[in-house]
Structure 1
Amino acid sequence: MRDIERYLNIRSAYGGSLSPSGTLAFLMDTTGVPQVWTLSEPEAWPEQRTFYDEAVSFVSCSPTREEAVFGMDEGGDERMQLYLLDLDPDPTADPIAGLTLPFDISESDARAKHRGGTSGRSEPRPSDARAKHRWGGWSHDGERFAFASNRRDEAAFDVYVQGRDERGDEAELVHEGDGWLTVEGFSPDDSALIVTEAYSSFDQDVYALDLPSGDLTHLTPHEGTVRFLSATWAPDGRGIYVVTDRDSDLLYLARVGLDGALEPVVEDDEWNVDGVALDHDTGRAIYSRNVDGYTELTVGDLDGATFRGGRTLDLPPGVAGGVSFDEGARSFSLTVTGSVENANVHVVDVTSGERERWTRASTAGVPRESFVEPELVRYESFDGLEIPAFFSVPWAANERDGAVGDGVPVVVDIHGGPESQRRPSFYALKQYFLRRGYAVFEPNVRGSTGYGTAYAHLDDVERRMDSVADVRAGVEWLSRQPVVDPDRIVAFGGSYGGFMVLAALTEYPDLWAAGVDIVGIANFVTFLENTGSWRRELREAEYGSLEDDREFLESISPVNTVDAIRAPLFVLHGANDPRVPVGEAEQVAEAAREQGVPVETLIFEDEGHGVAKLENRIEAYSRIVAFLDEHV
């Protein structure tokens, strides 16, 4: 049997961006962490452009020059810095020439710390490495870019504009914020920016920031919680397109005028319209629908409040996104992935709709035909609510008639968020579990996105534990499946999913053979007290506030009922985690041990909210698999 290291070496290529010459810049994790690579034609040999030990988080090509900005943090601390990368360097130049990093590190120190740097000159843009920098896009003339940063106040984001030839400390502060601001892009004439402000995952506002005057115009005044997402300027600069659920349970595409008037453009009576991409020069547009987790893309043209000539693309079943138009919007790049397809970047011809895969990320010798496609199922929860889930069964189990008591073990993998959705994208660890004979069950419990606003709010604050009851109902459904051994069911999840694991183990201890908590919340009070100050208010909007709901938060915190746990527990965390601080792992592991629960812990000093580095992933998941093999 192929070992787990082989599966964890299955690569992903994604996040494509097209340069003016048609060069595709993208991220690929061939070295063990995502780095910037480029291609000049489909399936050519790619050229690696960055050579860091840390993961690169995005790359965005200039609209006018052969250069790009990429982002990178240190050790998973999420304090991303921005760097300018020359995509067309002098081939005789020293590949490290001109490289200086934040912190005023000398060039020689930077080599030692990051093992090289870039192929082509790479210069840091914002220079305050203690702060987060969130990319806001290039101006259309390629002379400037915008970003949001909490340089001035860690708990709030301001808006900055910077010239491409300026250093980070020369960026111009163009607007001071007092909350979670995001820059969504320059207007077609580069005179204004879209700025959004988030109060929670389900409540945002959209503003137009006039750069010459500094005036900020509020475009979306509203009462209650309303989502305004995927904001982009209209080609004429006199309006903004958004995806919103204003006066609707489902998201739809709308146009908001600079006077605040909102006009629906594309509505759907069954599924969310969850994103839009637009080329300002041509009006060419693409919107996506989330159809039971699967992506459907439609290409056409936006003209005022009308979407013209819509044509749905032929895509493999799965998830697709990350659109980047080429010059003239004749084609666009797109990341495509599916349950049995590792992520790759495709380029689509707008006129014909023909799609060509440009990258060929390796499957590390694991045959694609060995991967398992899930079945989309639904089960009834305690109150009659229908819960969707993806259920994957090992090939060998599919080929025989199972019987209760003679079935396979199951990993119940619960997504994080909770404002998220398990969708049919490629997950190497899942395929490895299936290869080892475990089935995998992935429920989208109440509180998940993708099924309407009402469904997403069903777990808010005092209804938090109803979502845990959905997990119990899922296990009861599994126990009725002949292929499943009900005595060998594992609770597995990360981040908020880690909380769900701990809550399931304490609320329903007799259901579980083992639990795996990855960067999970054990105590909502200490989590909210210690999470990054810039995100505390957004999290309180979902979970409840320390001021008003402390007693309730204590009552649902698994660390306070850990004496109920019966199943062995594996706890994994990153020491640099700014979202769920490592103290959450430490306190629940200690408390469980004191109750005599078999506990295994693994904390990485160079990781944050998850495990990014290949060598750490190999160690982490090798130990998790050994733990499950021993106890399950």
Structure 2
Amino acid sequence: MTKELYGFEQYLNVRAATGASISPDGQRLSFLTDITGVAEAWCVSIDQRGSQEPSWPEQLTFRSERVASATFAPHEDVLLVTGDIGGNERAQLFLLRLDDPRLQALTNKPEVMHAFGGWSPDGERIVYGSNERDARFFDVYEMNIRNGERRLLLQQDGSNMPLRYSPDGTQILVSRLESESRNKLILIDIATGEARDLTPGNYSGFAAHRYPFWSTDCKGLYLVSNREREFLSLAYLDLETTELSYLSDLSWDIEALAVTKDGAKMATVINEDGISRIELFDVTQGWEQRRPLLAPTLPTKSVVPGLTWSNSGEKLAITLSCADEPTDIWVWDLDGGHIQRATLSSSGGIPRETFVNPSLVRYPTFDGRDIPAFLYLPKDAPKDLPVVISVHGGPESQERPIFNPIYQYLLARGYAVLATNVRGSTGYGATYQSLDDVRKRMDSVADLQAAAMWLRESGIADPKRIAIYGGSYGGFMVLSAITTYPELWAAAVDIVGIANFVTFLENTGPWRRRWREAEYGSLEADREFLERISPIHSVDKITAPLFVVHGANDPRVPVGETEQIVSALKDQGVPVEHLVFSDEGHGLIKRVNRLKAYPSIVRFLDIHLKS
């Protein structure tokens, strides 16, 4: 019997539901999905009275442009919606009432970025960050949503992102970003304007302070931190003394924390080798007298990208993703001890049993380390396969076993995929994450050489049919791999990648340059090194055919990076194809553009790996 092949359009019809927010009465759930071709806000009833089948959802926004978030107000059926235009990441703020489909614009400054921080407890105000004063910096503003009046709460030359109001609405927590791995927590007194540093001291290493929530007695904050630690751990910060005390000591990151509005219940997500595990606690009497609560059993090899409590603390919305299942939202009822599926994303008409779950593998690299990776093999796979090595962006990120339509399409067409977590990836501790910093950058590229050699020596890959694929920083890794180890690759795919670190740092969004220099090196101190490792200066070594994709509105990696590499390869006579989309930014978010780009990429791979 011949195996049925499904077109990429069907794989792209596999939907995802994310961005959960529960209505004040706990009866409805707002979420984001791209059913219409781009992410919009939807709403579904979660008052199912024992039914396990989701209700039919209702579409709330009709922007035809990306909605980034939709968050319920505390006391009424009103949503704060954020969204940009053409993928430019310059989000504006809107109000949406469930009984009125018209979006009410709260901001109208298309060149300014707005970062929503939260609703005040009385639902009368919101707090947000904005870089309108200077594109390099974010200040903190508060707005009265009834009359549109706003006030400046914090002006400081830095990246100040508001997180949430205190339970009594008199204070605001702010995260001041110093790099991707360091931030400070600031507490603003709204009445006086006093800004108090809750994390004093100068930390040269990792010092993340994430997910801070007030305790029941409001005397401290529960949070996740890796200050002077190898892994992100649960901690408590005393608001009077600013002393940070660790409450857990695991050999994995606690990657997410959610605490109920009253500070009584806590949910944590532990990242164990890329797989998520949830723990729940009653902390009404504090951590020392905590009481474990029944937590839902998750599917094998699943990932939890998001947690959201209801106002009452009786329900927990869990965003759940698996490599062989579309991303959906489930609701855990603590009192009843049962879980209900809130959304049912389409599988595009493709039988779900055809989707592939990966194996967690480790391969040796040049310095004796083992590099973790997820290996996807086509069903009934023979040896000597065409293989695509996939490299994530970031680099402070981690490849996880979540549903990826591109991977599944490649698998159905007989390709294997090795999705690797080279050194510099998150999830494996501070030491591992630091192994690619600045002058050690090329060590991570050597991990890609090791991946190709392992695939060859294990017999999984046909040595002449290995391709490399990556986006953003992963695009730099692709270009660096084909210039440093040109003999290994039959083809390469670079999506919104960095070709030249100098021009990238000169032209990236001004609010991002300082963060990026902390990871890559600065133009002032490291220009010569950055020039030396930039793939644009080694194009003469490239022999692998290259496919490049970019969005013209990309504020992170400007489209000039693609223009440089394409022009240079054409001059060299190396086969190169490229697509630039005028209505996209950092990556492809619109279905019509994805339908053009990804089938073209697979056609390109077929030509160079299967012909």
User: Which of 503, 512, 524 is the matching residue for 2:480?
Assistant: 503
In the alignment, the residues of structure 1 paired with residue 57 and residue 250 of structure 2 have an alpha-carbon distance, to the nearest angstrom, of 43
User: Which of 310, 317, 321 is the matching residue for 2:292?
Assistant: 310
1:305 deviates by: 4.2
Q: Who is 1:276 aligned against?
A: 257
Q: SS at the partner of 1:551?
A: helix
1:269 deviates by: 3.0
CA deviation vs aligned residue, 1:446-499 (integer Å, no higher than 9, x gap): 000000011100000000000000111111111122232121011100000000
Q: Is the 8 A contact 1:78 1:578 kept in 2?
A: yes
Letter in 2 for 1:147: Y
1:193 deviates by: 0.6
- Determine whether 1:443 maps to 2:420: yes
Taking structure 1 as reference, are residues 275 and 180 closer, same or farther at Cα in structure 2, changes over 3 Å only? same
User: Which of 33, 38, 46 is the matching residue for 1:33?
Assistant: 38
Q: Which moved more, 1:258-267 or 1:504-513?
A: 258-267
Q: SS at the partner of 1:121?
A: strand
1:275 deviates by: 1.7
In the alignment, the residues of structure 2 paired with residue 267 and residue 595 of structure 1 have an alpha-carbon distance, to the nearest angstrom, of 55
Q: Who is 2:187 aligned against?
A: 208
Letter in 1 for 2:183: Q
User: Which of 143, 152, 165 is the matching residue for 1:186?
Assistant: 165
- Determine whether 1:232 maps to 2:213: yes
Q: Is the 8 A contact 1:195 1:206 kept in 2?
A: yes
1:264 deviates by: 3.4
- Determine whether 1:16 maps to 2:27: no
Q: Who is 1:66 aligned against?
A: 77
Q: Who is 2:606 aligned against?
A: 629
In the alignment, the residues of structure 2 paired with residue 558 and residue 232 of structure 1 have an alpha-carbon distance, to the nearest angstrom, of 44
Q: Is the 8 A contact 1:459 1:465 kept in 2?
A: yes
In the alignment, the residues of structure 1 paired with residue 477 and residue 179 of structure 2 have an alpha-carbon distance, to the nearest angstrom, of 20
Identical pairs, percent: 46
In the alignment, the residues of structure 2 paired with residue 597 and residue 166 of structure 1 have an alpha-carbon distance, to the nearest angstrom, of 60
Q: Is the 8 A contact 1:183 1:194 kept in 2?
A: yes
1:26 deviates by: 0.5
In the alignment, the residues of structure 1 paired with residue 603 and residue 334 of structure 2 have an alpha-carbon distance, to the nearest angstrom, of 48
Q: Is the 8 A contact 1:252 1:264 kept in 2?
A: no
In the alignment, the residues of structure 1 paired with residue 336 and residue 525 of structure 2 have an alpha-carbon distance, to the nearest angstrom, of 57
- Determine whether 1:429 maps to 2:406: yes
- Determine whether 1:122 maps to 2:103: yes
In the alignment, the residues of structure 2 paired with residue 266 and residue 393 of structure 1 have an alpha-carbon distance, to the nearest angstrom, of 40
User: Which of 71, 74, 88 is the matching residue for 1:77?
Assistant: 88
Q: SS at the partner of 1:396?
A: coil
Q: SS at the partner of 1:290?
A: strand
Q: Who is 1:92 aligned against?
A: none
In the alignment, the residues of structure 2 paired with residue 82 and residue 331 of structure 1 have an alpha-carbon distance, to the nearest angstrom, of 27
Query: TM-score, normalised on structure 2?
Result: 0.95
1:306 deviates by: 3.4
- Map of 1:474-493 to 2, 5 A cutoff? 474-493=451-470
Taking structure 1 as reference, are residues 561 and 147 closer, same or farther at Cα in structure 2, changes over 3 Å only? same
Q: Is the 8 A contact 2:486 2:544 kept in 1?
A: yes
Taking structure 1 as reference, are residues 309 and 352 closer, same or farther at Cα in structure 2, changes over 3 Å only? farther
Letter in 1 for 2:427: G
User: Which of 485, 489, 495 is the matching residue for 1:518?
Assistant: 495
Q: Is the 8 A contact 1:282 1:328 kept in 2?
A: no
User: Which of 540, 563, 577 is the matching residue for 1:586?
Assistant: 563
Q: SS at the partner of 2:515?
A: helix
Q: Who is 1:6 aligned against?
A: 10
Taking structure 1 as reference, are residues 286 and 465 closer, same or farther at Cα in structure 2, changes over 3 Å only? same
Letter in 2 for 1:468: V
- Map of 1:149-548 to 2, 5 A cutoff? 149-167=130-148, 170-222=149-201, 223-225=203-205, 226-302=207-283, 303-306=285-288, 308-311=290-293, 312-316=295-299, 317-397=301-381, 400=382, 402=383, 407-548=384-525
In the alignment, the residues of structure 2 paired with residue 78 and residue 177 of structure 1 have an alpha-carbon distance, to the nearest angstrom, of 22
CA deviation vs aligned residue, 1:394-434 (integer Å, no higher than 9, x gap): 0030xx5x3xxxx2100100000000000111111110000
Q: Is the 8 A contact 1:461 1:542 kept in 2?
A: yes
User: Which of 597, 613, 623 is the matching residue for 2:590?
Assistant: 613
Q: SS at the partner of 1:300?
A: strand
Letter in 2 for 1:69: L
1:313 deviates by: 3.0
Letter in 2 for 1:356: Q
Q: Is the 8 A contact 1:589 1:599 kept in 2?
A: yes
Q: Is the 8 A contact 1:131 1:150 kept in 2?
A: yes
In the alignment, the residues of structure 1 paired with residue 243 and residue 414 of structure 2 have an alpha-carbon distance, to the nearest angstrom, of 52
1:74 deviates by: 0.6
Taking structure 1 as reference, are residues 572 and 260 closer, same or farther at Cα in structure 2, changes over 3 Å only? farther
Q: SS at the partner of 1:448?
A: coil
User: Which of 62, 81, 86 is the matching residue for 2:97?
Assistant: 86
1:596 deviates by: 1.2
Q: Which moved more, 1:232-241 or 1:525-534?
A: 232-241
Q: SS at the partner of 2:380?
A: helix
Query: TM-score, normalised on structure 1?
Result: 0.92
1:353 deviates by: 3.9
In the alignment, the residues of structure 2 paired with residue 470 and residue 587 of structure 1 have an alpha-carbon distance, to the nearest angstrom, of 26
1:195 deviates by: 0.6
Q: Who is 1:103 aligned against?
A: none
Q: Is the 8 A contact 1:282 1:329 kept in 2?
A: no
Q: Which moved more, 1:255-264 or 1:529-538?
A: 255-264
In the alignment, the residues of structure 1 paired with residue 460 and residue 253 of structure 2 have an alpha-carbon distance, to the nearest angstrom, of 34
Q: Who is 1:100 aligned against?
A: none
In the alignment, the residues of structure 1 paired with residue 565 and residue 268 of structure 2 have an alpha-carbon distance, to the nearest angstrom, of 43
Q: Is the 8 A contact 2:388 2:418 kept in 1?
A: yes
Q: Is the 8 A contact 2:236 2:247 kept in 1?
A: no
Q: Is the 8 A contact 2:214 2:263 kept in 1?
A: no
User: Which of 60, 64, 72 is the matching residue for 1:49?
Assistant: 60
CA deviation vs aligned residue, 1:570-603 (integer Å, no higher than 9, x gap): 0100000000000000001111111111000100
1:139 deviates by: 1.0
1:352 deviates by: 4.6
Letter in 1 for 2:351: P
* Number of equivalenced pairs: 593
1:63 deviates by: 1.1
In the alignment, the residues of structure 2 paired with residue 419 and residue 196 of structure 1 have an alpha-carbon distance, to the nearest angstrom, of 18
Q: Is the 8 A contact 2:502 2:531 kept in 1?
A: yes
In the alignment, the residues of structure 2 paired with residue 395 and residue 194 of structure 1 have an alpha-carbon distance, to the nearest angstrom, of 50
Q: SS at the partner of 2:196?
A: strand
Q: Who is 1:135 aligned against?
A: 116
1:182 deviates by: 1.0
1:233 deviates by: 2.4
Q: Is the 8 A contact 1:576 1:607 kept in 2?
A: yes
In the alignment, the residues of structure 1 paired with residue 525 and residue 289 of structure 2 have an alpha-carbon distance, to the nearest angstrom, of 45
Q: Who is 2:579 aligned against?
A: 602
CA deviation vs aligned residue, 1:263-316 (integer Å, no higher than 9, x gap): 435323311112211113251110111110111111112344437222443111
Letter in 2 for 1:588: I
User: Which of 554, 558, 563 is the matching residue for 1:577?
Assistant: 554
The 4+ residue runs of structure 1 with deviation greater than 4 A are: none
